[in-house]
Amino acid sequence: MAKTETGTNDLLAEVKDGVGTLTFNRPDVRNAMTDDMMAGLADLLAAWEDDDEVGAVIITGAGGAFCAGGDVKGFNEKGGEGGPSGEVDPARVDAQRTNQEETVGRIYRYAKPVIGAIPGAAAGAGLGFALAADVRVGTPKTVMATAFGGVGLSGDYGVTWLLNQLVGPAKARQLLLFNDRVRGDELRELGLLNWVVGVDELEAKAFELAKTLADGPRGCFSRMKANLVAAPTVDLAQSMHDEVQRHLECGVTDDHRELVAAFVEKREPNLKR
Protein backbone atom coordinates (compact mmCIF):
# COMPACT_ATOMS: atom_id res chain seq x y z
CA MET A 1 0.00 0.00 0.00
CA ALA A 2 1.39 3.42 -0.97
CA LYS A 3 0.09 6.61 0.57
CA THR A 4 -0.11 9.43 -1.97
CA GLU A 5 0.37 13.11 -1.23
CA THR A 6 -2.74 15.21 -1.91
CA GLY A 7 -1.56 18.60 -0.70
CA THR A 8 -4.17 18.69 2.06
CA ASN A 9 -5.43 16.72 5.06
CA ASP A 10 -8.95 17.22 3.69
CA LEU A 11 -8.35 14.48 1.13
CA LEU A 12 -6.55 11.16 1.66
CA ALA A 13 -5.19 8.96 -1.12
CA GLU A 14 -3.52 5.58 -1.43
CA VAL A 15 -2.78 2.97 -4.07
CA LYS A 16 -2.94 -0.77 -3.32
CA ASP A 17 -2.92 -3.72 -5.73
CA GLY A 18 -3.88 -1.58 -8.70
CA VAL A 19 -6.68 0.26 -6.89
CA GLY A 20 -6.48 3.96 -6.06
CA THR A 21 -8.65 5.14 -3.16
CA LEU A 22 -9.61 8.77 -2.58
CA THR A 23 -11.17 9.60 0.80
CA PHE A 24 -12.89 12.87 1.67
CA ASN A 25 -11.52 13.60 5.14
CA ARG A 26 -13.43 16.18 7.18
CA PRO A 27 -15.47 13.77 9.31
CA ASP A 28 -16.41 16.42 11.89
CA VAL A 29 -18.51 18.19 9.21
CA ARG A 30 -19.56 15.10 7.22
CA ASN A 31 -16.71 15.74 4.77
CA ALA A 32 -18.06 19.07 3.53
CA MET A 33 -16.02 20.43 0.64
CA THR A 34 -13.09 22.84 0.82
CA ASP A 35 -11.12 24.49 -1.96
CA ASP A 36 -8.06 22.43 -0.99
CA MET A 37 -10.09 19.20 -1.10
CA MET A 38 -11.39 20.00 -4.57
CA ALA A 39 -7.94 21.00 -5.87
CA GLY A 40 -6.42 17.78 -4.53
CA LEU A 41 -9.23 15.70 -6.01
CA ALA A 42 -8.77 17.31 -9.44
CA ASP A 43 -5.00 16.80 -9.36
CA LEU A 44 -5.11 13.15 -8.26
CA LEU A 45 -7.82 12.19 -10.75
CA ALA A 46 -5.75 13.69 -13.56
CA ALA A 47 -2.55 12.00 -12.40
CA TRP A 48 -4.08 8.57 -11.87
CA GLU A 49 -5.82 8.52 -15.23
CA ASP A 50 -2.39 8.25 -16.88
CA ASP A 51 -0.81 6.04 -14.20
CA ASP A 52 -0.45 2.36 -15.12
CA GLU A 53 -0.21 1.50 -11.41
CA VAL A 54 -3.90 2.45 -11.05
CA GLY A 55 -6.46 0.29 -12.83
CA ALA A 56 -9.59 1.38 -10.95
CA VAL A 57 -10.53 4.09 -8.46
CA ILE A 58 -12.64 4.13 -5.29
CA ILE A 59 -14.09 7.40 -3.99
CA THR A 60 -15.34 7.36 -0.40
CA GLY A 61 -15.59 9.40 2.80
CA ALA A 62 -14.22 9.17 6.32
CA GLY A 63 -16.12 8.92 9.58
CA GLY A 64 -19.36 7.37 8.36
CA ALA A 65 -20.32 10.02 5.78
CA PHE A 66 -19.54 10.37 2.09
CA CYS A 67 -19.67 14.12 1.38
CA ALA A 68 -22.20 16.69 2.56
CA GLY A 69 -21.42 19.07 -0.28
CA GLY A 70 -20.78 22.75 0.37
CA ASP A 71 -19.92 23.96 3.87
CA VAL A 72 -23.21 25.60 4.88
CA LYS A 73 -21.74 27.05 8.09
CA GLY A 74 -19.05 28.65 5.96
CA PHE A 75 -21.71 30.09 3.63
CA ASN A 76 -23.42 31.69 6.61
CA GLU A 77 -20.21 33.17 7.98
CA LYS A 78 -19.39 34.94 4.69
CA GLY A 79 -22.93 36.17 4.02
CA GLY A 80 -23.97 33.46 1.58
CA GLU A 81 -22.17 31.17 -0.84
CA GLY A 82 -21.57 34.08 -3.25
CA GLY A 83 -20.73 36.61 -0.54
CA PRO A 84 -22.74 39.60 0.73
CA SER A 85 -22.48 41.94 -2.29
CA GLY A 86 -25.61 40.72 -4.08
CA GLU A 87 -23.60 40.47 -7.32
CA VAL A 88 -22.35 37.32 -9.02
CA ASP A 89 -18.56 37.32 -9.39
CA PRO A 90 -17.72 36.23 -12.97
CA ALA A 91 -14.29 34.98 -11.87
CA ARG A 92 -15.98 32.74 -9.30
CA VAL A 93 -18.28 31.37 -12.00
CA ASP A 94 -15.33 30.54 -14.25
CA ALA A 95 -13.33 28.95 -11.41
CA GLN A 96 -16.20 26.73 -10.30
CA ARG A 97 -16.98 25.67 -13.86
CA THR A 98 -13.37 24.58 -14.25
CA ASN A 99 -13.36 22.67 -10.97
CA GLN A 100 -16.64 20.92 -11.72
CA GLU A 101 -15.29 19.74 -15.06
CA GLU A 102 -12.03 18.56 -13.44
CA THR A 103 -13.84 16.62 -10.69
CA VAL A 104 -17.40 15.45 -11.40
CA GLY A 105 -16.90 15.79 -15.16
CA ARG A 106 -13.66 13.82 -15.09
CA ILE A 107 -15.12 11.10 -12.84
CA TYR A 108 -18.06 10.63 -15.21
CA ARG A 109 -15.93 10.31 -18.36
CA TYR A 110 -12.93 8.67 -16.62
CA ALA A 111 -10.94 6.22 -18.72
CA LYS A 112 -10.85 3.78 -15.79
CA PRO A 113 -13.72 2.34 -13.72
CA VAL A 114 -14.75 4.40 -10.69
CA ILE A 115 -16.51 2.87 -7.66
CA GLY A 116 -18.42 5.09 -5.25
CA ALA A 117 -18.30 3.65 -1.71
CA ILE A 118 -21.03 5.58 0.11
CA PRO A 119 -21.02 4.90 3.88
CA GLY A 120 -23.50 7.59 4.87
CA ALA A 121 -24.70 10.99 3.73
CA ALA A 122 -24.12 12.10 0.14
CA ALA A 123 -25.81 15.47 -0.22
CA GLY A 124 -25.74 18.60 -2.32
CA ALA A 125 -22.63 18.84 -4.47
CA GLY A 126 -21.35 15.73 -2.67
CA LEU A 127 -24.15 13.81 -4.36
CA GLY A 128 -22.61 14.76 -7.71
CA PHE A 129 -19.39 12.88 -6.91
CA ALA A 130 -21.40 9.78 -5.95
CA LEU A 131 -23.64 9.85 -9.02
CA ALA A 132 -20.74 10.43 -11.41
CA ALA A 133 -19.15 7.10 -10.40
CA ASP A 134 -19.76 4.11 -12.65
CA VAL A 135 -21.29 2.03 -9.86
CA ARG A 136 -22.05 2.64 -6.19
CA VAL A 137 -22.06 0.45 -3.11
CA GLY A 138 -23.66 1.54 0.15
CA THR A 139 -25.13 0.33 3.43
CA PRO A 140 -28.47 0.61 5.22
CA LYS A 141 -27.08 3.86 6.66
CA THR A 142 -26.43 5.41 3.26
CA VAL A 143 -28.63 8.43 2.61
CA MET A 144 -28.75 10.64 -0.46
CA ALA A 145 -30.39 14.05 -0.67
CA THR A 146 -30.15 16.89 -3.16
CA ALA A 147 -30.26 19.37 -0.24
CA PHE A 148 -30.00 22.43 -2.47
CA GLY A 149 -33.56 23.72 -2.07
CA GLY A 150 -33.26 23.61 1.70
CA VAL A 151 -30.59 26.33 1.57
CA GLY A 152 -32.06 28.28 -1.36
CA LEU A 153 -29.71 27.04 -4.07
CA SER A 154 -30.62 25.54 -7.45
CA GLY A 155 -27.86 22.93 -7.64
CA ASP A 156 -24.39 22.44 -9.07
CA TYR A 157 -21.70 19.78 -9.66
CA GLY A 158 -23.85 18.00 -12.23
CA VAL A 159 -26.52 16.74 -9.83
CA THR A 160 -29.49 17.77 -12.02
CA TRP A 161 -28.14 16.13 -15.19
CA LEU A 162 -26.91 12.99 -13.42
CA LEU A 163 -30.22 12.47 -11.61
CA ASN A 164 -32.11 12.85 -14.89
CA GLN A 165 -29.89 10.18 -16.46
CA LEU A 166 -30.15 7.75 -13.54
CA VAL A 167 -33.74 8.02 -12.30
CA GLY A 168 -35.54 9.89 -15.10
CA PRO A 169 -36.96 13.41 -15.19
CA ALA A 170 -40.06 12.84 -13.04
CA LYS A 171 -38.16 11.37 -10.08
CA ALA A 172 -35.33 13.89 -10.52
CA ARG A 173 -37.82 16.73 -10.20
CA GLN A 174 -39.26 15.20 -7.05
CA LEU A 175 -35.86 14.72 -5.43
CA LEU A 176 -34.72 18.24 -6.28
CA LEU A 177 -37.91 20.17 -5.55
CA PHE A 178 -38.91 18.36 -2.35
CA ASN A 179 -35.40 17.52 -1.12
CA ASP A 180 -36.42 13.94 -0.27
CA ARG A 181 -33.92 11.93 1.78
CA VAL A 182 -33.60 8.46 0.28
CA ARG A 183 -31.94 5.54 2.08
CA GLY A 184 -30.51 2.05 1.66
CA ASP A 185 -32.72 -0.37 -0.23
CA GLU A 186 -34.82 2.42 -1.78
CA LEU A 187 -31.64 3.81 -3.30
CA ARG A 188 -30.94 0.40 -4.79
CA GLU A 189 -34.47 0.20 -6.19
CA LEU A 190 -33.97 3.58 -7.86
CA GLY A 191 -30.63 2.51 -9.32
CA LEU A 192 -28.68 5.03 -7.23
CA LEU A 193 -26.95 2.17 -5.41
CA ASN A 194 -25.92 -1.04 -7.15
CA TRP A 195 -25.20 -2.97 -3.93
CA VAL A 196 -26.26 -2.55 -0.31
CA VAL A 197 -24.04 -4.35 2.22
CA GLY A 198 -23.48 -4.30 5.96
CA VAL A 199 -21.70 -1.29 7.41
CA ASP A 200 -18.66 -3.39 8.28
CA GLU A 201 -18.56 -4.90 4.77
CA LEU A 202 -18.51 -1.68 2.73
CA GLU A 203 -14.76 -1.15 2.49
CA ALA A 204 -14.06 -4.78 1.58
CA LYS A 205 -16.87 -4.92 -0.98
CA ALA A 206 -15.75 -1.72 -2.70
CA PHE A 207 -12.16 -2.97 -2.85
CA GLU A 208 -13.27 -6.36 -4.18
CA LEU A 209 -15.21 -4.69 -6.98
CA ALA A 210 -12.39 -2.28 -7.83
CA LYS A 211 -9.75 -5.02 -7.74
CA THR A 212 -11.81 -7.21 -10.09
CA LEU A 213 -11.94 -4.35 -12.58
CA ALA A 214 -8.28 -3.35 -12.10
CA ASP A 215 -7.26 -6.95 -12.84
CA GLY A 216 -9.45 -7.12 -15.93
CA PRO A 217 -8.99 -5.97 -19.54
CA ARG A 218 -8.30 -2.28 -18.92
CA GLY A 219 -8.31 -1.16 -22.54
CA CYS A 220 -11.65 -2.86 -23.03
CA PHE A 221 -13.14 -1.08 -20.01
CA SER A 222 -11.81 2.28 -21.19
CA ARG A 223 -13.47 1.90 -24.59
CA MET A 224 -16.64 0.49 -23.01
CA LYS A 225 -16.85 3.62 -20.86
CA ALA A 226 -16.34 5.83 -23.90
CA ASN A 227 -19.38 4.13 -25.49
CA LEU A 228 -21.43 4.66 -22.34
CA VAL A 229 -20.45 8.31 -21.94
CA ALA A 230 -21.39 9.04 -25.55
CA ALA A 231 -24.67 7.10 -25.49
CA PRO A 232 -26.93 9.87 -24.04
CA THR A 233 -25.75 12.38 -26.65
CA VAL A 234 -25.97 10.42 -29.92
CA ASP A 235 -28.60 8.37 -31.73
CA LEU A 236 -28.41 4.61 -32.26
CA ALA A 237 -26.88 4.86 -35.73
CA GLN A 238 -24.03 7.09 -34.51
CA SER A 239 -23.52 4.93 -31.43
CA MET A 240 -23.18 1.78 -33.54
CA HIS A 241 -20.88 3.60 -35.96
CA ASP A 242 -18.53 4.64 -33.13
CA GLU A 243 -18.73 1.28 -31.35
CA VAL A 244 -17.14 -0.57 -34.25
CA GLN A 245 -13.84 1.30 -34.10
CA ARG A 246 -13.48 0.79 -30.35
CA HIS A 247 -14.62 -2.82 -30.55
CA LEU A 248 -12.04 -3.73 -33.18
CA GLU A 249 -9.34 -1.80 -31.32
CA CYS A 250 -10.00 -4.20 -28.44
CA GLY A 251 -9.84 -7.10 -30.87
CA VAL A 252 -6.13 -6.59 -31.58
CA THR A 253 -4.98 -6.40 -27.94
CA ASP A 254 -3.03 -8.95 -25.92
CA ASP A 255 -5.79 -8.88 -23.27
CA HIS A 256 -8.38 -9.94 -25.84
CA ARG A 257 -6.23 -12.74 -27.22
CA GLU A 258 -5.46 -14.08 -23.73
CA LEU A 259 -9.10 -13.96 -22.63
CA VAL A 260 -10.21 -15.78 -25.78
CA ALA A 261 -7.55 -18.46 -25.30
CA ALA A 262 -8.47 -18.89 -21.63
CA PHE A 263 -12.15 -19.24 -22.55
CA VAL A 264 -11.42 -21.92 -25.16
CA GLU A 265 -8.95 -23.75 -22.91
CA LYS A 266 -11.26 -23.54 -19.89
CA ARG A 267 -8.66 -21.95 -17.61
CA GLU A 268 -8.15 -18.74 -15.68
CA PRO A 269 -6.76 -15.90 -17.83
CA ASN A 270 -3.33 -14.48 -17.15
CA LEU A 271 -3.43 -10.80 -18.07
CA LYS A 272 -0.09 -9.01 -17.94
CA ARG A 273 0.06 -5.99 -15.63
pLDDT in tens, the chain (273 residues): 677 889 999 999 999 999 999 999 999 999 999 999 999 999 999 999 999 999 999 999 999 999 999 877 777 777 767 777 788 889 989 999 999 999 999 999 999 999 999 999 999 999 999 999 999 999 999 999 999 998 888 899 999 999 999 999 999 999 999 999 999 899 999 999 999 999 999 999 999 999 999 999 999 999 999 999 999 999 999 999 999 999 999 999 999 999 999 999 999 999 987
pLDDT at residue 1 in the model: 61
The fourth-level CATH superfamily of domain 2-214 is: 2-enoyl-CoA Hydratase; Chain A, domain 1 (3.90.226.10)
Instruction: Say what the pTM is.
Output: 0.94
- Residue count of the chain: 273
Give CA 178 to chain center in angstroms: 24
Angstrom distance (rounded) from CA 190 to CA 95: 33
